[in-house]
Structure 1
Amino acid sequence: MRIALFILFLLSVVGVEAAGFPVLVYHDIQPGPVSDPFTVSLKDFKKQMAYLRRKGYKVISLKQLELATRNRQRLPEKTIILTFDDGLKSYRQYVLPVLQQYHFPSVLSIVTSWADGKKVPKEYKNKTLSWKEIKKLDSNPLIEVISHSHALHASALSNPQGNQKALAIVRIYRPANERYETEARYQQRIKRDLQTTSARFSAKLGHGPFAISWPYGHYEQYHINTAQKYGIRIHLTLDEGPANTKYFPRVHRVLIQNKRRSALFPELVTFRNYHNRQLRFTEIRLAPFAGKTANEQNKLLSRLIRRNELLGINAIVVHPFSKNGKSAFFSNRQMPVAENILDRVLHQMLVRNDIKLYLRIPLSLSVANSGRLIKQLARLHFFQGVVFFGKNKNNRAQHYSKIIRYHRPDVKIGYEGVNKSVLDVDFHYLRLRPDKNPDLTPIRKTGGRRYVVIDAAVNTDQKTIIRMIKVLRRNGIRDIGYASDQYSSNKPDVMAIAPELRKSSHWRARANND
C-alpha cells in the first residue's frame, strides 16, 4: 500500500513537472489608454486578475515554489506566479489594491541603483519606488521583494557597427583599440554588480535578496554560480516556454505587454500558441557581406530583413563560418576573419524581424583548440539554438554543447541527421533533397521534434522547392525550411515562395484546455 501511494505521489509530481506552469512578468500599469508596449492598462490588468480567479488559478510565491521543488512536493493544479519588474510606483498605487482584492501574492523586483536615485532612465524619472516605500512593501507577507540587479538594466556597445546589447551579457566593444572586453573584466563587472545589489538590500531592508530577475531576461551560468555566493538562489528569466521545476533555480517567464490584450490572455497563460507553433525558416550564409563597404552592408542587411518579413519566417539558421570552414564571420584569434558581421546581422534580425536565431556549426573545424573558437562564438553573440553537423569525432558535439550552454543556458541543441552518439539534443535537423517523390520514411521514423530543411542547390528551380513544401505540409511535417536562401539575388523569388511557406502544415494542434 505504501509503495502504491509513493508511486502515485511521484506520478503527481512528474505530471506537474511535465506540464509546466505560467510565470507572468509585468512592468508598468497605468489607468487610461496606453501606447508604450511594456505598459498594461489598469482596465486590462483588472480583467486579467479576474480571469485568473474565475478560472481557478492558484497564485503562489517564489518561496512556495522553492520549497515544493526542493522537497518534491506537489504544486497546486493551475499554479501561477505573478512578477513585476523595475520597482515602479504604479505597483504600489495601482497593482497592489487589485492583488489585495484577491489575496494574490506577488514578486517585486527592484533595480537598486534606481532606488538610490542613480542612473534612472529618462522615461522612469519620478516613477521608481524609494527605499522607504520598498521597505514598507517588504513588510507585507504577500510581497516578495527581490533584486533586478544594481546597474545592469542598461546596454552597451557590442560590435564595430554600433549595435547595443544588454549589460548582463555584452562583452563591451571598445572602438578606440578595436577590442572586446576580456572575460576576466566581464566577470568582475558582473560579480561587482551582484555584490553591490546584495549590500544595498542588506543596508536598506535588513536582508539580502534571495532571488534576482535578470534585466531583459539575459544571464549566463557564471551569473548563477556567482549569485549563490551572495545568497541569491532563484533566477527569473525570459526563457521561452512554461516554467518547470526541472529548470529550477531558473524560472521561465512570459512577458505581458500592451499589445497582448485581455482577449489573448488565455492563450498566454495556457501557452497554446507556444505548444502549437510551427517553425518556418530559411538557412543563409554571410559570404555576400564580405568585402563590402559599410553602406553596402547596411543596404544588403535591410534587404535580408525585408525578405524575412515577406517570407513570414519565424526562425533562421545562419552559417557563422565560410563554406569551406576556413574563415569566420566574427572576431576571433583561431582562424581568419572574412568579415566581422555576425553579431550585427543577428542583432538586427532579432530586433527587426523578431525571429529565433540558430547557428549551424560544423564538427570538423580544422583549427587548434577549436573549443576556444566556439567559446568566442558563444560569448560574443546572442542566439537561441545551434545545429551541429558532421562526424562527431572525440565527442566534439558534447564538448561544444557544454561550452555553449555555459554562456547560453537555455539554448536549443540540434544535430543534423540522426546520430545515436549525440544523445542530448532538443531537435533533429533533417535535410531532404528535392525530389518528385521524396521518401519521407526516415523523417517519420525519427522521434522527437524534427526540423526538416529542403536542401536546395543554388540552381534548384523554385517550383521544385514550392512543390516540396506542399508535400511536407500535406504529410503533417510541422517545422519546414529550405537552404540555401540567396537573399542577395532574390532566389527563390520571394513573392512566389512566400504564399506556400506561410501556410500551416496539416498537423494536429493542442487544444486550449483552460
Structure 2
Amino acid sequence: MVIASSGFFNIAYANEPHFLVINYHDIVGSKQTPVYATDVSEDRFEEQLHWLKEHGYRIVSIQAVFDAADGKASLPDKAVLLAFDDGYQSFYTKVFPLLKKHHYPAVVALVGAWMDGNKPADVKQPLLTWEQVRELRQSGLVEIASHSYDLHQGILANPQQNTQAAAVTRRYDPATAHYESDDDYQERIRTRLKSSAEFIFQHTGVRPRVMVWPYGEYNSISLEASSEAGMPITMGLIDGFNTLADIKALRRLIIVDNPDTGQFADIVTGLRADRSLRVAHLDMDYLYDDDARQTERNLDSVVQRIKDMRINTVFLQAYADPDGDGNAEALYFPNRHLPVRQDLFNRVAWQLKRVAGVKVYAWMPVLAYRNKLPDAWYVQEWRDGKAQKASHIYTRLSPFQPEARQFVAEIYEDLGKYCNFDGILFHDDGILSDYEDASPEALAFTHEVWGLPGQFEKLHATGDMRLAWAHRKTELISQFTDELASRVRIYRPAIKTARNFYALPLLKPYSEEWYAQSFESFLAHYDYVAIEAMPFMEEAERPLEWLVQLVNEAARYPGGLKKTVFELQAV
C-alpha cells in the first residue's frame, strides 16, 4: 500500500484504476484540410468519440477526478478525461454540440493574454468569446482551466538566442550575460499563475481549479506555484496512463496528424510506447570551436546529418574532455563548481530537438570530475599494502564521501536548471575495482552499514567475499545515480535514464567484482542499459559471434532486449 499526500489530497492510491487524458486542440471542418499537426477534423473527432464508447471507455469530468481523490467516489474502469487546449472557437461550434448530444464532460484551457487581445500573429484560429465561455461553464459539462496568462510563449534561454518555454526556462539577459536568479524565477512563475487564475475569475465568477501547462512543460517549482494559486490538478503532455497519485501533473495523449479510427485506437491502446531507439553519440568536444561561427557551422552540419540518418535519440556530451581521458575538466552549461568551456549544451540540445526532431540525453560522468578538491574526496585503491589515490585513468570522486556526492549532485541540479533535454546517459566511469574503494570512509561504511569486514585484507580474502563486496558497491553507485536523476527531476521531471555498461559483466557475471556493474541491477535502476558492444576494443577473435553472444545473454533477462541499447563500434 502506497500513501500519497500532495497537501490538497490525502488518500491511499494503490488499487485505484488507471485513467486516460486525451488532448485535442483545434477541431476543423470535415471537408477542411488540417493546417496544423494538432488539427483534428470534425468527422474524425466524432468517430473517435464513437470508438471510445463502443470499446467501453467512460468519459468522466474533472469533478469526478476531484471526488475520487477525496475518497468520495471511485472512477469507473477505462475512464477518460477530454481536454482541449488554447480555447479555440471550434470548441464552442463543433465540440460543444457533441458534448451536449452525448452528455460528455470536458476541460477547455484558456490562454489569458490571448483572450485579452494579445494573440500571437501566428495563431490564426478564432478564439472563444467570454460570452461563450460563460455559457460553457453554466452548462455543467465544461471545466474552464488555465493555460496560463502569458506563459504560452518562449523566452530567451541562452546566449545563442534560442527561446524556450517560459514556465520552465531561466530567462537569459544578453545585456548582463546572466540568467534569471532562483528568487526572480520563482516570483515570476507565482505571479503569472495567480494573475491567470484571477483573470479567469474576473470574467467567469469562478476560479480555475486546473492548470494546463503550455507546451506540456512544468517543474516542481511551477507545480507548487499552481497549487498555491488554487489549481492543484495540472496537466502535461507525457504519454501514458494516470492514477490518482498523478493528479499533480497528469499525463495526456496529444492527438496529432488527424488519425483515423484505427490509428486512434493504436494511440489509445498502445500509448505510443513501442518506439525503438535509434541512437547516436555526439561528442561536444568535436563540435566546439574557439571560433563561434565555426561552431555554428559544425552544429548545422551535424544536425542535418542526424536528421538524414533518421536518428531519434542523441546521447549528447555535456562535459568538456578535450584530452579524451574521460574526466570532466569543464562543462558546457552554467554551474556552480566547474569552469564553463562554453555555454553550449542547451543550444545544441535545442537545435537537435527542434530541427532534427530527436530526444536528447545529457551524457554526463558519474564520478570522474577533475578539480582542485581534497584528495580525501577521491577513490582510493589498495596498493603496496596501503590505501592510495587510485591510479585508474578515471579520476573518480568517491561515492562513499558525502561532500563529494553533494558536489556532483549540485552539478546535475544545475544541468536541469539551465538546460532543456529529455534524459541522462550516465557515463561508464561509475566503476570500482576489486581494490577500490579502500579509503577509511569507504571501509568504515562497508563495516558499519553493510556488516562486512572493515579491513581490506579480509574483504579481498576469498572470491565469495569479493563478490559480496562488489554487489553492495554496484548498488551503492546505482543508488547514487538515482539521486542524481532526482536532482535533475526538480526541473525536468519527465527525464529518462540510461547508463553505460561494460560487456564483460554481462558475458561473465562474476566479473562484477572488477567493475561493480551488474546487468540485472542496471535493468532495475534505469530506463535503458547502454552496453558498449565493441568487439574490436575487447579484442574478440570472432567479432560477429561475440556480438551474437552479447545479444543472447541480454535476452536471458526479463525485459533485457527491450531495455538495452547496443552501442556499436563504428570505426
TM-score scaled by structure 2? 0.72
Q: Which letter does structure 2 place at the counterpart of 1:403? A: R
With over 3 angstroms needed to count, the CA separation of the structure-2 counterparts of 1:105 and 1:295, relative to structure 1, is: same
Q: Which letter does structure 1 place at the counterpart of 2:169? A: V
| 1:90 is the counterpart of 2:167 | no
| 1:378 is the counterpart of 2:455 | no
With over 3 angstroms needed to count, the CA separation of the structure-2 counterparts of 1:250 and 1:176, relative to structure 1, is: same
Which residue is 2:216 aligned to?
A: 217
* Inter-partner Cα distance in structure 2 for 1:450 and 1:209: 36
8 Å Cα contact 1:13/1:74 also seen in 2 = no
With over 3 angstroms needed to count, the CA separation of the structure-2 counterparts of 1:470 and 1:161, relative to structure 1, is: farther
Deviates more, 1:358-367 or 1:319-328: 358-367
Q: Which letter does structure 1 place at the counterpart of 2:71? A: N
Q: Identify unmatched segments of 5+ residues in structure 2.
A: 1-11, 321-325, 374-406, 432-475, 511-517, 556-560
Secondary structure of residue in 1 paired with 2:311: coil
* Inter-partner Cα distance in structure 2 for 1:466 and 1:178: 52
Deviates more, 1:41-50 or 1:254-263: 254-263
Q: Which letter does structure 2 place at the counterpart of 1:101? A: K
Deviation (angstroms), 1:462:
13
8 Å Cα contact 2:88/2:125 also seen in 1 = no
Residue 315 of structure 1, aligned match among 307, 313, 316? 313
Deviation (angstroms), 1:433:
5.8
With over 3 angstroms needed to count, the CA separation of the structure-2 counterparts of 1:386 and 1:363, relative to structure 1, is: same
* Inter-partner Cα distance in structure 1 for 2:76 and 2:293: 56
With over 3 angstroms needed to count, the CA separation of the structure-2 counterparts of 1:285 and 1:80, relative to structure 1, is: same
Q: Which letter does structure 1 place at the counterpart of 2:168? A: I
Q: Which letter does structure 1 place at the counterpart of 2:295? A: Q
Q: Which letter does structure 2 place at the counterpart of 1:266? A: A
Q: Which letter does structure 2 place at the counterpart of 1:277? A: R
| 1:325 is the counterpart of 2:402 | no
Q: 1:371-450 counterparts in 2 under 5 A?
A: 371-388=409-426, 390=430, 396-397=480-481, 399-414=483-498, 416=499, 430-432=501-503, 438-439=507-508, 443=519, 447-448=523-524
Q: 1:66-465 counterparts in 2 under 5 A?
A: 66-71=66-71, 74-117=74-117, 119-124=118-123, 127-274=126-273, 276-322=274-320, 323-364=326-367, 365=369, 369-388=407-426, 390=430, 396-397=480-481, 399-414=483-498, 416=499, 430-432=501-503, 438-439=507-508, 443=519, 447-448=523-524, 451-455=528-532, 460=537
8 Å Cα contact 2:315/2:360 also seen in 1 = yes
Q: Which entry has the higher C-alpha Rg, 1 or 2? A: 2
Q: Which letter does structure 2 place at the counterpart of 1:340? A: D
Q: Which letter does structure 2 place at the counterpart of 1:99? A: L
Deviates more, 1:224-233 or 1:473-482: 473-482
Deviation (angstroms), 1:83:
0.4
* Inter-partner Cα distance in structure 2 for 1:175 and 1:400: 30
Which residue is 2:444 aligned to?
A: none
- Give a deviation string over 1:186-225, Cα, whole Å, max 9, x none: 1111111111111112211112111100000001111111
8 Å Cα contact 1:241/1:254 also seen in 2 = yes
* Inter-partner Cα distance in structure 2 for 1:181 and 1:294: 24
Secondary structure of residue in 2 paired with 1:227: helix
Q: Identify unmatched segments of 5+ residues in structure 1.
A: 1-11, 417-428, 486-490, 493-514
With over 3 angstroms needed to count, the CA separation of the structure-2 counterparts of 1:57 and 1:462, relative to structure 1, is: farther
Deviation (angstroms), 1:292:
4.3
8 Å Cα contact 1:81/1:106 also seen in 2 = yes
* Inter-partner Cα distance in structure 1 for 2:186 and 2:363: 28
Deviation (angstroms), 1:94:
0.8
> What is the aligned-residue identity percentage?
25
* Inter-partner Cα distance in structure 2 for 1:440 and 1:446: 13
With over 3 angstroms needed to count, the CA separation of the structure-2 counterparts of 1:14 and 1:332, relative to structure 1, is: closer
* Inter-partner Cα distance in structure 2 for 1:271 and 1:260: 14
8 Å Cα contact 1:112/1:197 also seen in 2 = yes
* Inter-partner Cα distance in structure 1 for 2:421 and 2:226: 23
8 Å Cα contact 1:308/1:353 also seen in 2 = yes
Q: Which has the higher contact order (CA 8 A, sep 6+)?
A: 1
* Inter-partner Cα distance in structure 1 for 2:305 and 2:295: 15
Secondary structure of residue in 1 paired with 2:35: coil
Secondary structure of residue in 2 paired with 1:481: strand
- Give a deviation string over 1:431-464, Cα, whole Å, max 9, x none: 3269xx9458954686546634242679759998
* Inter-partner Cα distance in structure 2 for 1:306 and 1:137: 46
Deviation (angstroms), 1:232:
0.9
Deviation (angstroms), 1:301:
2.3
With over 3 angstroms needed to count, the CA separation of the structure-2 counterparts of 1:75 and 1:372, relative to structure 1, is: same
With over 3 angstroms needed to count, the CA separation of the structure-2 counterparts of 1:446 and 1:388, relative to structure 1, is: closer
Secondary structure of residue in 1 paired with 2:122: helix
Secondary structure of residue in 2 paired with 1:124: coil
Secondary structure of residue in 1 paired with 2:502: strand
Q: Which letter does structure 1 place at the counterpart of 2:52? A: L
8 Å Cα contact 1:290/1:338 also seen in 2 = no
Deviation (angstroms), 1:408:
1.6
Deviates more, 1:72-81 or 1:441-450: 441-450
Deviation (angstroms), 1:252:
0.3
* Inter-partner Cα distance in structure 2 for 1:311 and 1:15: 44
Deviation (angstroms), 1:335:
1.3
8 Å Cα contact 1:431/1:455 also seen in 2 = yes
With over 3 angstroms needed to count, the CA separation of the structure-2 counterparts of 1:200 and 1:170, relative to structure 1, is: same
Deviation (angstroms), 1:86:
0.4
Deviation (angstroms), 1:339:
2.3
8 Å Cα contact 1:291/1:339 also seen in 2 = no
Deviation (angstroms), 1:76:
1.3
Which residue is 1:505 aligned to?
A: none
* Inter-partner Cα distance in structure 1 for 2:76 and 2:115: 35
* Inter-partner Cα distance in structure 1 for 2:43 and 2:158: 42
Deviation (angstroms), 1:394:
12
Secondary structure of residue in 2 paired with 1:44: helix
* Inter-partner Cα distance in structure 1 for 2:262 and 2:539: 40
